[in-house]
Copies of this chain bind each other. A is one copy, B any other.
Amino acid sequence: MPIYKAPTRDTRFIVNEVIALESYGELSGFENVSRDVTDAVIEEAGRFATEVAAPINLSGDQEGCTRHADGSVTTPKGFKEAYRQFVDGGWGTLSAPEEFGGQGLPHVIGFAMEEFLSAANQSFAMYPGLANGAMSAILVKGSDAQKTLYLPRMISGEWLGTMNLTEPHCGTDLGLIRTRAVPQVDGSYAITGTKIFISAGDHDLSDNIVHLVLAKTPGAPESSKGISLFIVPKVLVNADGSLGERNAVSVGSIEHKMGIHGNATCVMNYDGAKGWMVGEEFKGLAAMFIMMNSARLGVGMQGLGQAEASYQNGVLYALERRQGRALTGPAEPAEKADPLIVHPDVRRMLMDAKTFTEGFRALCLWGALQVDLAHKAATEEARQEADDLIGLLTPVIKGYGTDMGYKVATDMQQVWGGHGYIAENGMDQFVRDARIAMIYEGANGVQAMDLAGRKLALNGGRAIQRFFALVDAECSGAAGGDETVALVAERLAKTNGELKAATMWFVQNAMTAPNNLGAGAYAYMTLTGIVSLGLMWLRMAKVAAAAAGAEDASFYQAKLVCAKHWALRFAPQAGALRREIEAGAETVMALPAEAFATG
């Protein structure tokens, strides 16, 4: 069975030394966030993921979820008990608002928990994860009555929640949805339609499930401008909060999927189910995007989680399995063969994995800080900057992060050789689970277009200019001193230069020919990801260089090696990506559609 141990040492390094969370004590809600508190929460969160969620990951994959004859759905063995412990431990409440029973801790801490849980057991993590998305929409767009009725029990974990967007004929293009919401005399709506791919659509973990459903009211415009959002609870909730009758929503079937078998991905049938509008009519898409932005960051954390979990097992095998000899001569002559880790090509995969995973962890936790700063920073300027940066980087965290999560999982499976292909060893589960993260909550090509086609242009390019300035400042602050820091700064400045050039190319070539933007968007997202990782590695290299001679010297030494590995092995891709972008749409769009068919 695969191992997993939450990387709390690294998380604490980022929280305390890179982000320096304690230094934000002036922010509301951060007052009592001492290092002692965050360290303790991180360690306990890690323990829950390691000891409770991880042991039922492989078995959950093997067993899957079951829809019974009466339409009820049960999760794999152990999930119900683990979820009870999750609720008892208050693990869903970390960064939820105190007003509704949350602990009001910084999102940095909530994100750290999300990584651990996704790494330990992605299918399990998705149950509270989807509820988070649903809650975020109610929190921002719900009426006071809706907040009071639903949020406390959702935050406590007593109830869970889902996001119902996709229908059989439409996913990305939500303007096409057919689910109907007909107003009733009591102010509610009768919801009728079929939703598919509903993660955590039904299960036995909670007494109620609060579905958030996109639907169209009678006479609504055909496009996405006609969409509204509704709360449709599985069990109707009385005014006093007690549970009433079962609503007219049922599970048609559970999908057979490539992975995340432990999560019930449901076809949901709404047959005149009772629902209540969230926010304004026809403003459903905006509300949906609130859920979506939360979910996209969460999916990015899944990429991180699968990378970390598979990495740990890749390392385990590379240390234990003996095969062949070091190129420089036997490393352990007394044994019949050396451990795999002597082989440079195995180490290449491990170093790539380590460098991505640790750098991306820093990026995600730094991103979580921006989420808080966007609401809580002292000045409007600071709030706007944080909002710009996290808005810009959300598609990068989701898109680049999950692409790399899949790549790392594939590489770590490769370290295991033939044994990586055998189901019992669990390496293929990491690959299969990581694969969905590139698809759901907006396929990665949609993320690329969100970045290049939308976020770049907002407010005259203010966000990307801020990002450039941030990177430039980090680079120019690195003059002199440590050799590795200087090298990473030089290479980061260069990759940032490639990104600037690519951005300029879009400005000059895509305004009147938008296909040039579409054809280069994906490479642009990857390029932004590489620069973002470099930004984090430069910061971490500075911290590590300053900590030379510290008690835990080998930890900081390894950080410097990884930072250099980014400079030597990740940064070189930037030039190639820029050239791909500048190739434009010509060959991409040249062929008539029928030329793609096989003759």
Do B569 and A580 have beta carbons less than 8 Å apart?
Answer: yes
Do A561 and B324 have beta carbons less than 8 Å apart?
Answer: no
A246 at the interface (CB under 8 A from B): no
A7, A259, A315, A339 pick with most chain B CB within 10 angstroms: A315
A461 at the interface (CB under 8 A from B): no
Could you tell me the distance between the alpha carbons of A573 and B579 in the complex, rounded to whole angstroms?
A: 9
Residues in B neighbouring A345, C-beta threshold 8 A: 445, 448-449, 518-519, 521-522
Instruction: Please state the number of chain copies in the assembly.
Output: 2
Q: Which of B10, B258, B344, B590 contacts A599 (CB 8 A)?
A: B10
Residues in B neighbouring A347, C-beta threshold 8 A: 519, 588-589
Could you tell me the distance between the alpha carbons of A258 and B409 in the complex, rounded to whole angstroms?
A: 14
Could you tell me the distance between the alpha carbons of A461 and B176 in the complex, rounded to whole angstroms?
A: 61
Do B517 and A327 have beta carbons less than 8 Å apart?
Answer: yes
Could you tell me the distance between the alpha carbons of A422 and B315 in the complex, rounded to whole angstroms?
A: 31
Residues in B neighbouring A255, C-beta threshold 8 A: 422
Task: Identify which of residues 279-304 in chain A touch chain B, using a CB-to-CB cut-off of 8 Å.
Answer: none
> Which A residues are closer than 8 A to B by beta carbons?
5, 7, 9-10, 166, 170-173, 176, 196-197, 222, 255-259, 308, 312, 315, 318-319, 322-324, 327-328, 336-337, 339, 341, 343-351, 354, 406, 410, 413-414, 417-418, 420-424, 428, 431-432, 435-436, 438-440, 443-445, 448-449, 453, 514-515, 517-519, 521-522, 554-555, 557-558, 561-562, 564-565, 568-569, 572-573, 575-576, 579-580, 583, 585-593, 595-599
Nearest B residue to A9, CB-CB: B599
Task: Given contact pairs A315-B598, A344-B589, A561-B591, enumerate 17 new A-B contacts (beta carbons under 8 Å).
Answer: A5-B598, A258-B432, A315-B596, A327-B518, A344-B518, A345-B445, A351-B587, A414-B445, A417-B439, A417-B443, A418-B439, A421-B439, A561-B595, A564-B586, A568-B586, A568-B587, A575-B575
Nearest B residue to A316, CB-CB: B597
Do B341 and A258 have beta carbons less than 8 Å apart?
Answer: no
Nearest B residue to A563, CB-CB: B587
Interface of A (DSSP majority class): helix
A172, A256, A322, A445 pick with most chain B CB within 10 angstroms: A445
Could you tell me the distance between the alpha carbons of A410 and B260 in the complex, rounded to whole angstroms?
A: 17
Q: Which of B344, B423, B580 contacts A258 (CB 8 A)?
A: B423
Nearest B residue to A346, CB-CB: B445
Do A593 and B312 have beta carbons less than 8 Å apart?
Answer: no
Could you tell me the distance between the alpha carbons of A9 and B598 in the complex, rounded to whole angstroms?
A: 8
Do A599 and B176 have beta carbons less than 8 Å apart?
Answer: no
Q: Which of B327, B424, B519 contacts A344 (CB 8 A)?
A: B519
Do B436 and A421 have beta carbons less than 8 Å apart?
Answer: yes
Could you tell me the distance between the alpha carbons of A169 and B60 in the complex, rounded to whole angstroms?
A: 28
Nearest B residue to A319, CB-CB: B593
